[in-house]
Chain A
Amino acid sequence: MKSIEWGYLIINYLFLGGLSAGLFFVSAVATFLHNGDGRHQRIARWGALLAPWPVALGSLLLIFDLGNWYRFYKLFLHFRWISPMSIGSWLLMLFTLLALAYAYSWLNDGERASLLAHVPQRLTALRTCLRDLSGHRRTLAALGLPLAVGVGIYTGVLLGAVQSRPFWNTNLVAQLFLFSALSTGCAGLMFAFAFSRQPMAAAELRMLYLLDICFLTLEFFVVLPYLVHSQLSVEAVRQSMHLILGGPFTFVFWVFFLWFGLLLPLGIEVGEVMPALLSKSGLHARKWLVGATAVLILSGGFLLRYVFVFAGQMSAFK
C-alpha cells in the first residue's frame, strides 16, 4: 500500500505560495499599467503589502513538514538544477526577500517612520537599509515578476516532474497551478477590498475582474486538455484518472473545484463586467458579491491542490 507522505501542511503551503505569487503579479501589473495617474494605486499597494506574508507562512509550514526541520538550511548549501525542489527552495527565498522589499517600497512616509522607530539605534546597518524605496517600485516589480511566475509555476513542476505518478506526470499541471495561483492572487485582493471599510472604485474592480476572467479562463482551458489528454494517454494515466472520474476525489474535483471554485465565479465575473463593458457604464461594486466570488475562487484554489496532492500520491504504475 502506497503511503501518503505529503499532507495538509504541503497543501496549505502550495496554496499560500501560489496566493503570494498571484498577489505580487497583480500588484506588479497594476504598477506597470497605471504608474503616476494613481487609478489603480490601491491594487498595487495592497497587493504589494499583502504578498510577502502568505509565502512566508507557507515556507514555515514547509520547514515544519521536514523530518528534520532544523536541517532546512541544507537546502541552501546545494543547488541542484535537476531537482524541482532545489530550484523551488531558492525561488521561494529570493521571492520572499524581494516581496518584502517591494512591500516596504509601498509604505508611505508615516508608516516608514513608524517602522524605523521600532528599530534599535545600534542596528545601524538595518537602519541604513530602511531608506525610502518608493522610487524603485517599478524596478522591484520588474525584478519580482519572473520570481512570482517562478513560484507560481514551480509548485506544479514539483508534482509534474515525478515520472512515477501518472496523475501528475504532465506539463499541464505546472500551467494549471500557475493560472490558479494568479487567480487566487486576484481573489485575495477582491477579498481584502470587499472587507475593507473604504469604498470600492469601479475601475479597481473592473481591473481585478478582467484579470481574473483571463486567469480563470486559461485555467479552465488547461483543465479541459488535462482531462481529454488523460483519456488519450497510456493505460497507467487512464487508470489514475479514475481517482477523479468515479473514484474518491470525483465529487470534490467536479462539484467543489470545477463548478463552485472555477466556473461559477467565472460566470459571476463575466456577468458583472460584461454589461459595464458593453454599455460603457460604470461597474456597480456590490461588496457581498465580490467577497463571495473571492471566497469561491480561494476555496477552488485550495481544493485544486488538495485533490492533486492526495490523488497524485495515490496514483502509481501497476
Chain B
Amino acid sequence: MAKKPRRFAIVIDSKKCINCKACNVACRAQNNVPLAHSRNWMNEETRGTFPKLLAAFEPEQCHHCEHPACVRVCPTGASYQRPDGIVAINDSDCVGCRYCVIACPYDARFFREDRGVVEKCDLCARRIDRGEVPACVETCPGKVRTFGDSNDANGQVAQLLATRQYRVKKAEAGTGPQLYYLL
C-alpha cells in the first residue's frame, strides 16, 4: 500500500497548560513577531465565584485547515497550502489586501503595518524542514502541544487521536481545522 503523504497537525492538552506563555515568547523570538501582534495566543476563561471557581487556559494558533478559507480567497496565490498541510504565505506575492485576515474563522492572521503584508503561524516551517519541531512545541514546559504527522499511524498524534476524545473549534465554519483539543 502506498504511504500516505505527511499531514502535520497539533494535538493540545489544555488541562496541562499553566499559562506561562513560554510558547508565545518562543514564537515571538523565532519568527520576529512584533509586540502588537501574536502568531499564537492564549484563551483564558474563568467560571464561577470564589471559592468555587475554575480558571482554564487554552493555547491557540493557526489551525492549518484542510480546506483553508484564507487560501481560497487570496487573489494572488500568496497564501498557499504545502503538500504536508502547512498553510503559509509567500511574502513577496502578498499585496496586503487583508481579505484572508477577514476570511479566517479563527482570527489567526494579522496585518503587519510596518511591512504591509499579512503574517501568521507557519508551524515554523523552516524548523520542520530541518527535522525539528515548532518553537512553541519545543519550549512548552508542560508538554501541552504534541506535534506530528497525523497520517503516521505509529506517530504520537495519530495515537492520541485514536485513543483519546477530542474536539476541534468552529467545525461549523467548514474549513477542516487540524488543531485538536483533547477533552
Q: Is B75 an interface residue (CB 8 A)?
A: yes
Determine the chain B residues whose CB is within 8 A of the CB of A273 once the complex forms: none
A3 to B75, CA, bound (A): 21
Q: Is B170 an interface residue (CB 8 A)?
A: yes
Q: Is A307 an interface residue (CB 8 A)?
A: no
A101 to B98, CA, bound (A): 32
Chain B binding site: helix, strand, loop or mixed by DSSP?
A: loop
A313 to B105, CA, bound (A): 11
> Given A66-B95, A162-B102, A163-B105, is A234 in contact with B75 using a C-beta cutoff of 8 Å?
no
Binary per-residue interface labels of chain B (94-135) against chain A in the complex, 1 for a CB within 8 Å, 0 otherwise: 111111011111010011110111100000000000000000
Determine the residue in chain B with the shortest Cβ distance to A159: B102
A313 to B104, CA, bound (A): 11
Kindly provide the distance from the CB of A58 to the nearest chain B CB, expressed in whole angstroms.
Answer: 15
Q: Is B73 an interface residue (CB 8 A)?
A: yes
Whether B116 contacts A67 by the Cβ 8 Å rule is yes
Whether A74 contacts B110 by the Cβ 8 Å rule is no
Q: Is B93 an interface residue (CB 8 A)?
A: yes
Spot the interface stretch: A78-86, A219-227, A287-295: A78-86
Determine the residue in chain A with the shortest Cβ distance to B170: A317
Kindly provide the distance from the CB of A115 to the nearest chain B CB, expressed in whole angstroms.
Answer: 34
Determine the chain B residues whose CB is within 8 A of the CB of A316 once the complex forms: 105, 107
Determine the residue in chain B with the shortest Cβ distance to A162: B103
Give 27 A-B contacts (CB < 8 Å), ordered by A residue. A3-B107, A3-B111, A5-B101, A6-B98, A66-B95, A67-B115, A68-B116, A68-B117, A71-B96, A72-B95, A74-B95, A75-B76, A75-B95, A78-B77, A82-B72, A83-B72, A83-B73, A83-B75, A85-B73, A85-B74, A85-B99, A86-B75, A162-B102, A162-B103, A164-B102, A164-B104, A317-B172
Question: Could you tell me which B residues sit within 8 Å of A by CB distance?
Answer: 69, 72-77, 93-99, 101-105, 107, 110-113, 115-118, 170, 172-175
Question: Could you tell me which A residues sit within 8 Å of B by CB distance?
Answer: 2-3, 5-6, 65-68, 71-72, 74-75, 77-78, 80, 82-86, 89, 158, 161-165, 234, 236, 313, 316-317
Given A68-B95, A78-B76, A89-B75, 6 more pairs with CB closer than 8 A: A3-B107, A5-B101, A66-B97, A68-B116, A80-B76, A85-B97
